[in-house]
Amino acid sequence: MQKIDSFEASPKERTGRRIVALDGFRGLMTLFVILSHYFGEIAGGILPLRFGFIAVDSFFVLSGLLVGRLILDKGDAENFYQVFYARRILRTFPIYFLCVALAIAAERAIGLPGNDAVPTWSYFSFTNNIFVALTQNTGREWLGPTWTMGVEEQFYLIAPALMLATPRRYLLHVLTGIIALSIASRFAIFLTSGNSLAALTLLPTRADNLAIGLACALLLKTGIRWDSFALRAAPIVILILFFVVDQFVGDNFPLLLGHTLVCVAAALFLMSMVRGAPEAKRFESKTLAFFGETSYAVYLTHMPILWVAHALILHHAPSIATGAGFAVTIACLPLTVLIATALTRFVEAPITSIGQRLKWRQAPPKAAALKTAPVEAAAIAAVCLEPEASR
């Protein structure tokens, strides 16, 4: 879990009060992903349940927000880069590598339909999203969601240096420029090549999602009332606008502009919850908090479990078009929860706690040193020029 102040554990405000609503929001988005992949984006799936993209966009924004606030709060630490990357590696790498390795081992053991368009090694180097774009092939479907991890890990390499190298007064302008360039890159790629996967899965084409999260972190430093009624209602208006426009513009709208609109809605909602909007109470249930805590493990395991179960029991790809397929899919739900809980408790949490023990080492306040230096110099000069008799 993460903190609003340190962003390495459960979300908290500077008062130390836990913002359970952010855990709940993450948990709700995790449920969106499961429902969409298990009952929407599947053979025989239910069309209205294909809303997993909303969760993916929201995860990107939440990641940008948390990382952005961490950079803004701890960026002046002498050991910032060492601690930042050590904690990120311990938090994300071990459980990811374990889940991917087990999925590939299961694939070879039970004979899941192979797909070598995306090289196996790219899943372990967080570059599979690049190969998805280059080959216009999603690769192994049971590892399909991992392209988002490629985008995020590439983002972690760039975001700290970008934010720390940019003067604070120009940072919002730079982030706005990144958002505009990202949207333009999607249009350029799609209109020139029609490569929708490249427009969907590359860091430059999804940078607006993450930059919106970084902008949230910056805007929360201002005195704007993000919990005002108008701003709390804005996400609903934006999502309604998205679905209305989508009905008239066509299938390309979500790809070109829709994801940006969803991210803006998610950003406004997250900022209102951080500032204590009344709606936050609805996300404080223990069930949502549980799925928030196990979200990473659930995200990594739910598709491999679905594919392996259908292959072993029904000998075909996942489908809910038949009663047997629906029953197997339903059975995968508690199995996913059980396995994800075990991975979170016995793999993710213990290794993440190692990173928690790495402390930030604050640098001497440069501004204070610069301010006091002239005063100290003047005092020394006064002593040196003081007549000998008066000393």
Q: Minimum mean pLDDT among 2-11, 41-50, 355-364: which range?
A: 2-11
Based on DSSP, count helices (H) and strands (E) in the chain, helices before strands. 17, 0
Q: How many CB atoms lie within 10 A of CB 179?
A: 21
* Across 89-107, average pLDDT: 96
Question: Which H or E element spans position 306?
Answer: helix 295-313
Q: How many CB atoms lie within 10 A of CB 382?
A: 9
**Three-state secondary structure call for residue 14:** coil
Indicate the average pLDDT of the chain.
Answer: 88
The three-point CA angle 287-292-297 to 5° equals 115
Question: CA–CA separation, 285 vs 290, rounded Å?
Answer: 9
pLDDT value, residue 5: 35
* Across 282-290, average pLDDT: 93
Q: Is the pLDDT of residue 332 over 70?
A: yes
Q: Is the pLDDT of residue 269 over 70?
A: yes
pLDDT value, residue 27: 97
pLDDT value, residue 369: 45
The three-point CA angle 318-49-24 to 5° equals 105
Q: What is the DSSP letter of 18?
A: B
* pLDDT class of 252 with cuts at 50, 70, 90: confident
* Across 353-362, average pLDDT: 94
Q: Is the pLDDT of residue 374 over 60?
A: no
pLDDT value, residue 387: 41
Question: CA–CA separation, 175 vs 279, rounded Å?
Answer: 28
Tokens at residue 292, please? 């928030």
String of DSSP letters for 96-108: HHHHHHHHHHHHH
* Across 96-117, average pLDDT: 89
Q: Which residue has the higher pLDDT, 387 or 357?
A: 357
Q: What values do phi and psi take at 319, rounded to 5?
A: -160, 145
Q: Is the pLDDT of residue 2 over 80?
A: no
* Across 120-134, average pLDDT: 96
Q: How much of the chain is in helix, strand and coil states, percent to nearest 5?
A: 75, 0, 20
Give the orientation angle of helix 52-74 with respect to helix 20-39, to 10 degrees. 150
Closest CA to 131 of 152, 147, 142: 147
pTM score, whole prediction: 0.88
Q: Which residue has the higher pLDDT, 216 or 373?
A: 216
Q: Is the pLDDT of residue 338 over 60?
A: yes
* pLDDT class of 118 with cuts at 50, 70, 90: very high
Q: Is the pLDDT of residue 307 over 50?
A: yes
Q: Are 305 and 265 in contact (CB under 8 A)?
A: no
pLDDT value, residue 276: 86
- Strand pairing partners for 319? 43
Q: Are 160 and 84 in contact (CB under 8 A)?
A: yes
* pLDDT class of 37 with cuts at 50, 70, 90: very high
Q: Show the 3-state SS of 360-383.
A: CCECCCHHHHHHHHHHHHHHHHHH
pLDDT value, residue 265: 97
pLDDT value, residue 384: 38
* Across 204-216, average pLDDT: 97
pLDDT value, residue 312: 95
Name, of 123-127, 194-198, 243-247, the range with top average pLDDT.
Answer: 123-127
pLDDT value, residue 83: 97
Q: Which residues of 316-347 are buried (b: 16+ CB within 10 A; e: fewer)?
A: ebbbbeeeebeebbeebeeebbebbeebbeee
Q: Which residues contact 14 (CB under 8 A, 6 or more apart)?
A: 4, 5
Question: CA–CA separation, 24 vs 288, rounded Å?
Answer: 4
Question: CA–CA separation, 319 vs 310, rounded Å?
Answer: 8
Q: Which residue has the higher pLDDT, 115 or 209?
A: 209
Q: Which residues contact 209 (CB under 8 A, 6 or more apart)?
A: 57, 60, 61, 64, 182, 259, 260, 263
Question: CA–CA separation, 383 vs 77, rounded Å?
Answer: 36
Q: Minimum mean pLDDT among 14-18, 254-258, 308-312: which range?
A: 14-18
pLDDT value, residue 366: 59
- Strand pairing partners for 181? none
Name, of 247-251, 365-369, 378-382, the range with top average pLDDT.
Answer: 247-251
Q: Which residue has the higher pLDDT, 251 or 96?
A: 96
- Strand pairing partners for 77? 362
* pLDDT class of 225 with cuts at 50, 70, 90: confident
pLDDT value, residue 128: 96
